[in-house]
Amino acid sequence: MAQQEESDRIRSLDEIDVIVDTDAHVTEGIDDLLAYMDDDYEGIRRIIEDAAYPSHDIYSVAHPMPAFIHTDAFGDVYGDRPTGTVEAKKSHMEEFGLDYSILGPTLNLALATVNNDNAAVALANAYNSWILDQFVDAEPNIYTPVIVPPQAPEKAAEEIDDRADEDGVVGVMIPSTGLVPPAGHRLYDPIYEAAEDNGLPVLFHSGSGATADMFPVMRKWAETYAEDHAMVHPFTAMWNLTTMLFRGIPVRYPDLDFVFQEAGIGWIPYTLWRLDDHYLEISDEIPALEQLPSEYVHEQFYFSTQPLGHTARNPEHLAMAIEMAGPDNLMYSSDLPHPDFDPPRELFDRINGQFDRETVAGIMGETAIEVFELS
C-alpha cells in the first residue's frame, strides 16, 4: 500500500488523543469467585470448595505436555491463584499510556467447559460481581463485559438484564472455545436478544485452556503448548464466525454488534474471501443472507488486533492485511498482563505512515469509543 503524505501522518504516539485497550485481562482465582458466590448456590459452593483441583474438576482445563511456559504468569494452573489487582492494572495503564481498558477473565475463558449448568451460572454470576466490585467500581477508566454461561442461555439472558445498567458494563462476553454447539446455533438466541435489547455488543474470546476435544481445535492431539496455542484462537474465531454468518445471526439481530478478541488480523481476509465464495457457489444452503457475508461483517463485526504476530520486519504486510480486513472494524488490544501482550507502540509503529491520521486514530481508540460507548 502507498505511504501516506507526511502532512497526513501522526508524528508520534503522543499525538493520539485516546488509546483504548479492548482486550486486557484479570487473573481471577477460585477463592475470589467463592467469596462472591450468591447464597442461592450454596450447594455449588460446597462442591467447588471440596474439589481437589477446581480448574480440572469443575472447569475442564488442560494443557498439552510439556508444561506450558506461561504458568507463572497465569497462576498455578491457568489462574488458580490471583495475580492481579486494580492497582497493578492501573500501573499497566499508566506505563503504556492506556486511557481505557476493557477487562476480561482468564480462568473463566474456560467457562464453556463446565459440565454442570448450575455451576456455570453460579461461577459467571460470582465473577461478574467480583470484577465489578474489585476493578470497575474502583477505577473509572476500567470497563468490563458481563460474562455469561452459554450452557444456560435463559439464565444468561437474566444475567445480562440484571447487569446491563450497572456502571462500567459495556458488553456481553461468551467464552468461545469449547462452545458446543457453535455460536451460530439457535440455542443462543436468548443471549443475543438480551444483548440487543440492552444495547450491548457481544464479545467472543477464545482460550487455549478450554480446547479439550471440541471441534475445530481438539487439543487432545496437540503434543505441545506451541501447537495448541498457535491454532486455537484463529480456528475458534473462524468456526464461530462462519456459523453465525451462514445461519443468519446478523440478519436476525441487525442492531447488534459483535467483537472477536485475541485472534489477530491475518485470518480475517482469508475467511471472508472463502465465505463470500461459498455463499456465491452454494447460496441455496444459505437462505438467511441477503448480501455477501463480508458485507455483514463490515457492518456489524469488530476485531481486536492482538496478537500482531511476527510482522515487525515487514510492517507493510500488516497494513495490507488491515486494509483487506477493513480498518474501520479493527480495535487495538494488548492482552495484558499475559506474557505475549502487544504494547500500543508496536501497533502504532507498524501502521503509522501506512494509513491516514483518522484511520490510525480509529484503530488505536476512536472506534472502540463508539462500539463500547465509553465516556
For 78-89, write each residue's pLDDT tens digit.
334 444 789 999
DSSP conformation class of 257: -
The amino acid that residue 158 corresponds to is E
- pLDDT of 173 reads 98
- Whether residue 192 is predicted with pLDDT greater than 90 in this model: the reply is yes
- pLDDT of 79 reads 39
Average pLDDT of every residue of the chain: 91
Beta strands in the chain (DSSP E): 20-25, 100-104, 142-147, 169-175, 202-205, 258-261, 301-304, 330-331
DSSP conformation class of 115: S
Q: What is the pLDDT of residues 149-170, one digit of tens each?
A: 999 999 999 999 999 999 999 9
- pLDDT of 65 reads 66
- Output the nine-digit C-alpha cell for 372: 463500547
- pLDDT of 6 reads 61
- Whether residue 75 is predicted with pLDDT greater than 80 in this model: the reply is no
Which residue did the predictor score with more confidence, 29 or 124?
124
Instruction: Write down the number of H helices and E strands in the chain.
Output: 16, 8
- pLDDT of 80 reads 42
What's the whole-number mean pLDDT along residues 93-104?
97
- pLDDT of 167 reads 97
Lowest-confidence range among 107-121, 147-161, 224-238, 301-315? Answer: 224-238
Cβ neighbours of residue 239 closer than 8 Å, sequence gap 6 or more: 182, 215, 216
- pLDDT of 63 reads 72
Q: What is the pLDDT of residues 314-351, one digit of tens each?
A: 999 999 999 999 999 999 999 998 888 999 999 999 99
Q: What is the pLDDT of residues 269-324, one digit of tens each?
A: 999 999 999 999 999 999 999 999 999 999 999 999 999 999 988 999 999 999 99
Residues 199 and 171: their CA atoms lie apart, in Å, by 8
What's the whole-number mean pLDDT along residues 198-204?
98
What's the whole-number mean pLDDT along residues 223-234?
85
CATH among 3.20.20.140, 3.30.950.10, 3.90.600.10, 3.20.20.450 for 14-371? 3.20.20.140
Annotate 53-89 with three-state secondary structure: CHHHHCCCCCCCCCCCCCHHHHCCCCCCCCCCCHHHH
- Contact of 119 with 44, CB cutoff 8 Å: yes
- pLDDT of 212 reads 62
Residue 230 binned pLDDT confidence (cut-offs 50, 70, 90): confident
Residue corresponding to grid cell 488442560 = 62
Each domain of the chain, given as residue ranges in start order, spans 14-371
- Whether residue 375 is predicted with pLDDT greater than 80 in this model: the reply is no
Residue 69 binned pLDDT confidence (cut-offs 50, 70, 90): low
Cα dihedral across residues 24, 29, 34, 36: positive or negative: negative
Residues 279 and 286: their CA atoms lie apart, in Å, by 7
Q: What is the pLDDT of residues 238-251, one digit of tens each?
A: 999 999 999 999 99
355-360 long-range Cβ contacts below 8 angstroms, 24+ apart: 355/4, 355/319, 355/322, 355/327, 356/4, 356/8, 356/9, 357/8, 357/9, 357/10, 359/327, 359/328, 360/10, 360/16
Residues 360 and 30: their CA atoms lie apart, in Å, by 40
- Whether residue 213 is predicted with pLDDT greater than 60 in this model: the reply is no
- pLDDT of 209 reads 74
- pLDDT of 219 reads 62
Residues 271-284 as b/e (b if ≥16 CB within 10 A, e otherwise) read: bbeebbebbeeeee
